[in-house]
Amino acid sequence: MLEKSYAKVNIFLKITGTKEYNRNLYHTFNSRFMLVKNLYDTIEFVPQKCDSFTIEGLDIPKEQNIIYKAYKTLNAHTGDLDILEFFYNHKVVVKKNIPFGAGLGGGSSNAATFMNMVKTACNLQLSTEELANIGATIGADVPFFIYGYNSANVSGFGEIIEEFEEEPLNLEIFTPPIHCDTAKVYKAFKENYLKDAKPNAGASYMLNKSIDILNNIKDPTKLNDLYKAALLVYPELKKIQKEGYYFSGSGSSFFKAL
Name the active-site residue from 8, 69, 119, 256: 8
Check: CB of residue 8 under 8 Å from CB of residue 47.
Answer: no
- Return all residues near 23 (Cβ < 8 A) that are at least 6 apart: none
Backbone angles phi, psi at 148, to 5 degrees: 75, 20
- Residue-wise burial string across 127-136, b where 16 or more C-beta atoms lie within 10 A, e elsewhere: eeeebbebbb
Check: CB of residue 94 under 8 Å from CB of residue 42.
Answer: yes
Name the active-site residue from 69, 141, 225, 256: 141
Q: Is 119 a catalytic residue?
A: no
Q: Which residue type does 138 have? A: I
- Residue-wise burial string across 8-45, b where 16 or more C-beta atoms lie within 10 A, e elsewhere: bbbbbbbbbeeeeeeeeebbbbbbbbbbbeebbbbbbb
Q: Is 8 a catalytic residue?
A: yes
Check: CB of residue 142 under 8 Å from CB of residue 111.
Answer: yes
State the catalytic residues: 8, 141
